[in-house]
Structure 1
Amino acid sequence: MNIKFVVVGKLKEKYFKQGIAEYAKRLSRFCKFSIVEVPDEKAPESMSQAEMDQVMAAEGERILSKIKDKEYVYALAILGKERSSEEFAKEIKDLTTYGHSDITFVIGGSLGLTPAVLKRADTQISFGRFTLPHQLMRLVLTEQVYRAFMIIEGSPYHK
């Protein structure tokens, strides 16, 4: 099984890198885990809607170029469906049972995801209505994927 994150921007903070590296190491017993970073589009602080759309479109094209047809795609979106950890684990288990061995999670840049990326996604997932920095979201998502595998395994980790 392959789990891939396609994310906009580089991770700069050492503490986020360390946390993700720890969960990536733990995940290695369950799957092949990878993170693909696509460059964020340089943008001024204040932009018109047209400029924002242009930035999102450029990032969206980069994201879509990293997704293969066979991949099952989760787009992280505030308006996506919220799930409990147990529901998420069941979804992952069901996907693998029914032949989806390549699962990709997409985390957009600071402006979010384009309609084209959301359309390509098989489902949208939300971690609540909070706005979180996408660097922190990477760490939270990595932990939740690990938690899902621990739930599937029946481990007491998730309690």
Structure 2
Amino acid sequence: MKLHLVCVGRLSESYLRDAAEDFSRRVQRYLPLTVTELKEEKGGKKADPGFFREREGERLLARIADETFVIALDEKGKIRTSEELADFLGQHMVQGTGELAFVIGGAYGLSDAVRQRANLVLSLSPLTFTHQMARVILFEQIYRGMTILRNEPYHNR
């Protein structure tokens, strides 16, 4: 199974880039991972967040193959424990899912079209994180899930 992160925006802070690179390397010990970063929509003071979400949503969807299982990260999504995420990953590995695509929107979130295309809408926490921090947290949780599946010592049970 392959993992694909499709996201809006680049990591602007070096500490976020370092953490994302570290955890993405760890994830790649277990599964191939591809990251696709799309440019954020820009606007002035009278910018319309809905317009930005729609435009970014169109570009996100254009990067996802029809047969891909899509997990949209959204603060209103379902909350899973680390163990439940591990089980989810394990089930898809056993079922032979070709690709899981995780989608992270920009500063204004995801469009309705992206949420509708998603097979699962997942929340990383009831707290709100920046879309840049969400990437680091997602990679860490995927890595944690893989260590849980392999019964490795990273996750303290």
TM bracket (short chain): over 0.9
TM-score by length of 1: 0.93
| Structure 1 gaps, min length 5 | none
**Residue 15 of structure 1 corresponds to which residue in structure 2?**
15
Alignment of 1:47-126 (within 5 A): 47=47, 51-126=48-123
Distance 2:92 2:43 in 1: 37
Aligned residue identity for 1:76: L
How many angstroms does 1:24 deviate by?
1.6
2:31 corresponds to: 31
| Superposed displacement of residue 46, structure 1 | 4.3
Q: Please report the TM-score for the alignment, with normalisation by the length of structure 2.
A: 0.95
- Supply the distance in 2 between the matched residues of 1:122 and 1:21 (Cα, whole angstroms): 27
CA deviations on 1:90-142 (whole Å, 9 max, x unpaired) are 01111121121311100101111111000110001112221111111110100
C-alpha distance in structure 1 between counterparts of 2:76 and 2:24, whole Å: 27
Stretches of structure 2 lacking an aligned partner (at least 5 in a row) = none
Which residue in 1 is equivalent to 2:6?
6
Rounded to whole Å, the distance in 1 between the matches of 2:20 and 2:89 is 20
Which 4+ stretches in 1 moved above 4 angstroms? none
Q: How big is each residue's C-alpha offset from its partner over 1:25-79, in whole Å with a ceiling of 9 and x where there is no partner?
A: 21222111121001110022444xxx22211111001100110112111101111
2:154 aligned counterpart, secondary structure: helix
Alignment partners' CA distance in 2, 1:158 and 1:125: 21
Q: How many residues align?
A: 156
